[in-house]
Structure 1
Amino acid sequence: MPPAPPPRVSVIVPAYNAMPELTRAITSAMDQTLGLDQIEIIAVNDGSTDGTGAELERLAHGCPALRVVHQENSGCAGRPRNTGLDLARGDFVFFLDSDDYLGPDALRRMVAMADENGTDVVLGKIASVGGRAVPRAVFSHNQPRTDVFSSAAYLTLGPWKLFRRSLIERLGLRFPPYRNCEDKPFTVAAYLNASGISVVADYDCYYVRYREDRRNLTLVAGDLVHRMDGIGLCFETVARYLEPGPRRDRLMRRHVEWELCGPLRGLLWRESEEDARERFYPRFRHWARTWATDAIRRQIDAPDRLLVHLLRADRFEDVMTVARNAKEDARRGHVVDKGRVYWAHPFFRDPAASVPDECFDVTDRLPVRHRLEGARWRGDGVLELTGHAYIEHIAALEPGTELVLRRYQSDRPEVRLPTTPRSAPGLPDDGRYEMAGFTAEIDPATADGGAPLERGLWNIYLDVRAQGVSRTVRFGNDREGDEATHPGPRRVVAGPEGRTTVVTPYFTPYGNLSLDVGQVAHHLDAPCRVTEVVWHAARSGVLVVSGRLTCEAGEEDGGRLLLRAENGRGAVREVPVRYVESMDPAGAPARDFTVRLPVRRLSRGRWTLTLVMGGADGADGAGGEPCRAAVVPRFARLGGTRWLRFGRPYYAKPLAWGPAMALAFEVAPVRVATGARRRLRRLRRPGGVAVGTGGSPVRDTERVPAG
Structure 2
Amino acid sequence: MGVKVSVVMPVSNPGLTNDAFGASVRSVLEQSLPPEEYEIVFADDGSTDGTRRRLDAIAAQRSNVRVLHLDRSESPVRGRNVGLSVARGEYVYLLNQYDRLEPDALQRMYGVAAGEGADIVVGRLADGGPPQPAFARTRGRADIVRDHLLGLSTGHKLISRELVEAAQLRFPDRPLSEQAFATRAYLSARAIAVVADRICCHLGPADDECLDPEALFEGINGVFDVVEALTAPGTRRERVLAHWYRTLGLRRLGGGRFLASSADERALLFSFLRRLTLDRVPESLDVHLPVHLRARAALLRQDRPEALLELAEASRGTRLSAELRDVRWDDGVLALDLGVEILQPDGGPMWLREEDGRLLWSPPAHIPGLLPQEMTDVTDAVRRARVEVFLREARTGVTYALPAVSAVGRAAVGGRVRVWATAQTTIDVASAALGSPLAAGLWEVHVRMRGVRPGRARVFPPDVATNCAGTLVGEPPRLVVPCWSERDEFGVCVEPRSFAESVALVSSRTTVARQEGHVFVVMPVPYVPPSGGPAAELMLREQDGRGRSMIVPALVEPGVPGRVAGQLVARVPLSRIGGEECLGPGSWRAALRIDQKDVELRFGLTVGRGGRVAVRPAGSPSAPPLLRRVAVRVLGDGGAVRLARAVRGSRV
Residue 90 of structure 1 aligns to a residue whose secondary structure is: coil
Aligned counterparts, 1:520-599, within 5 A: none
Q: Name 1:192's counterpart in structure 2.
A: 187
- Write the distance in 1 (CA, Å) between the matches of 2:78 and 2:156: 16
Aligned counterparts, 1:383-402, within 5 A: 390-391=408-409, 394-395=410-411
Q: Name 1:281's counterpart in structure 2.
A: 270
- Write the distance in 2 (CA, Å) between the matches of 1:64 and 1:294: 56
The amino acid across from 2:93 in the alignment is: F
Deviations 1:405-450 (A, max 9, x none): xxxxxxxxxxxxxxxxxxxxxxxxxxxxxxxxxxxxxxxxxxxxxx
Q: Name 1:334's counterpart in structure 2.
A: 351
Greater mean deviation of Cα atoms: 183-192 or 164-173: 164-173
Which consecutive residues of structure 1, in runs of 5 or more, have no partner in the other structure? Answer: 211-215, 372-386, 398-465, 483-707
- Write the distance in 2 (CA, Å) between the matches of 1:233 and 1:263: 18
Aligned counterparts, 1:26-175, within 5 A: 26-128=25-127, 132-133=128-129, 135-175=131-171
Instruction: Pick the structure with greater CA Rg.
Output: 1
Q: Does structure 1 conserve the Cα–Cα contact (< 8 Å) formed by 2:113 and 2:119? A: yes
- Write the distance in 1 (CA, Å) between the matches of 2:61 and 2:427: 55
Q: Does structure 1 conserve the Cα–Cα contact (< 8 Å) formed by 2:93 and 2:158? A: yes
Q: Name 2:229's counterpart in structure 1.
A: 240
Establish whether residue 10 from structure 1 lines up as the match of residue 26 from structure 2: no
Q: Does structure 2 conserve the Cα–Cα contact (< 8 Å) formed by 1:368 and 1:471? A: no
Q: 1:318 aligns with which of 283, 298, 307?
A: 307
Higher relative contact order structure (alpha carbons within 8 Å, sequence separation ≥ 6): 2
Residue 115 of structure 2 aligns to a residue whose secondary structure is: helix
State the 1:323 CA deviation: 3.7
Residue 146 of structure 1 aligns to a residue whose secondary structure is: coil
- Write the distance in 1 (CA, Å) between the matches of 2:270 and 2:427: 53
Establish whether residue 217 from structure 1 lines up as the match of residue 207 from structure 2: yes
Name the Cα RMSD after superposition: 3.4
Q: Does structure 2 conserve the Cα–Cα contact (< 8 Å) formed by 1:145 and 1:198? A: yes
- CA 317–467 in structure 1, closer or farther in 2 if over 3 Å, else same: closer
- CA 327–308 in structure 1, closer or farther in 2 if over 3 Å, else same: same
Residue 3 of structure 2 aligns to a residue whose secondary structure is: coil
State the 1:44 CA deviation: 1.1
- Write the distance in 1 (CA, Å) between the matches of 2:251 and 2:74: 24
- Write the distance in 1 (CA, Å) between the matches of 2:77 and 2:425: 47
The amino acid across from 2:85 in the alignment is: D
Aligned counterparts, 1:180-579, within 5 A: 181-210=176-205, 216-218=206-208, 221=210, 224=213, 227-266=216-255, 270-278=260-268, 280-328=269-317, 331=344, 333-338=350-355, 339-348=357-366, 350-351=367-368, 355-366=371-382, 390-391=408-409, 394-395=410-411, 478=424
Q: Name 1:383's counterpart in structure 2.
A: none
- CA 479–205 in structure 1, closer or farther in 2 if over 3 Å, else same: closer
The amino acid across from 1:301 in the alignment is: P
TM-score (norm 1): 0.49
Q: Does structure 2 conserve the Cα–Cα contact (< 8 Å) formed by 1:126 and 1:134? A: no
Identity of aligned residues (%): 29
- CA 177–269 in structure 1, closer or farther in 2 if over 3 Å, else same: farther
The amino acid across from 2:267 in the alignment is: R
State the 1:251 CA deviation: 1.2
- Write the distance in 1 (CA, Å) between the matches of 2:51 and 2:406: 58
- Write the distance in 1 (CA, Å) between the matches of 2:146 and 2:379: 26
Residue 285 of structure 2 aligns to a residue whose secondary structure is: helix
The amino acid across from 1:364 in the alignment is: D
The amino acid across from 1:296 in the alignment is: L
- Write the distance in 2 (CA, Å) between the matches of 1:344 and 1:54: 61
State the 1:224 CA deviation: 4.8
Q: Does structure 1 conserve the Cα–Cα contact (< 8 Å) formed by 2:411 and 2:419? A: no
- Write the distance in 2 (CA, Å) between the matches of 1:93 and 1:135: 24
- Write the distance in 1 (CA, Å) between the matches of 2:126 and 2:115: 24
Deviations 1:434-473 (A, max 9, x none): xxxxxxxxxxxxxxxxxxxxxxxxxxxxxxxx97979999
State the 1:324 CA deviation: 4.8
- CA 324–6 in structure 1, closer or farther in 2 if over 3 Å, else same: farther
Q: Does structure 2 conserve the Cα–Cα contact (< 8 Å) formed by 1:252 and 1:291? A: no
- CA 127–177 in structure 1, closer or farther in 2 if over 3 Å, else same: same
- CA 252–173 in structure 1, closer or farther in 2 if over 3 Å, else same: same
- Write the distance in 2 (CA, Å) between the matches of 1:253 and 1:102: 32
State the 1:160 CA deviation: 0.3
Q: Does structure 2 conserve the Cα–Cα contact (< 8 Å) formed by 1:167 and 1:194? A: yes
Deviations 1:118-166 (A, max 9, x none): 11100001123xxx32652111221112231442222211110000111
State the 1:6 CA deviation: 4.3
Deviations 1:308-362 (A, max 9, x none): 00111222332333345542466253242323444443544x44x5543445443
- Write the distance in 2 (CA, Å) between the matches of 1:346 and 1:369: 20
Q: Does structure 2 conserve the Cα–Cα contact (< 8 Å) formed by 1:347 and 1:355? A: no
- CA 112–14 in structure 1, closer or farther in 2 if over 3 Å, else same: same
Deviations 1:352-384 (A, max 9, x none): x5543445443333478899xxxxxxxxxxxxx
- CA 395–66 in structure 1, closer or farther in 2 if over 3 Å, else same: same
- CA 26–88 in structure 1, closer or farther in 2 if over 3 Å, else same: same
Greater mean deviation of Cα atoms: 240-249 or 337-346: 337-346
- Write the distance in 1 (CA, Å) between the matches of 2:286 and 2:41: 44
Greater mean deviation of Cα atoms: 360-369 or 104-113: 360-369
Deviations 1:584-637 (A, max 9, x none): xxxxxxxxxxxxxxxxxxxxxxxxxxxxxxxxxxxxxxxxxxxxxxxxxxxxxx
The amino acid across from 2:168 in the alignment is: G
- CA 241–471 in structure 1, closer or farther in 2 if over 3 Å, else same: farther
Deviations 1:70-105 (A, max 9, x none): 222222221110121121111111001111111111
- Write the distance in 2 (CA, Å) between the matches of 1:238 and 1:22: 35
Q: Name 2:617's counterpart in structure 1.
A: none
- Write the distance in 2 (CA, Å) between the matches of 1:322 and 1:477: 31
TM-score (norm 2): 0.52
Which consecutive residues of structure 2, in runs of 5 or more, have no partner in the other structure? Answer: 320-343, 388-404, 429-652
Deviations 1:561-588 (A, max 9, x none): xxxxxxxxxxxxxxxxxxxxxxxxxxxx
The amino acid across from 1:154 in the alignment is: L
Structure 1 runs of 4+ off > 6 angstroms?
367-371, 466-473, 479-482
- Write the distance in 1 (CA, Å) between the matches of 2:130 and 2:212: 21
The amino acid across from 1:265 in the alignment is: G
The amino acid across from 2:8 in the alignment is: I
Q: Does structure 2 conserve the Cα–Cα contact (< 8 Å) formed by 1:146 and 1:198? A: yes
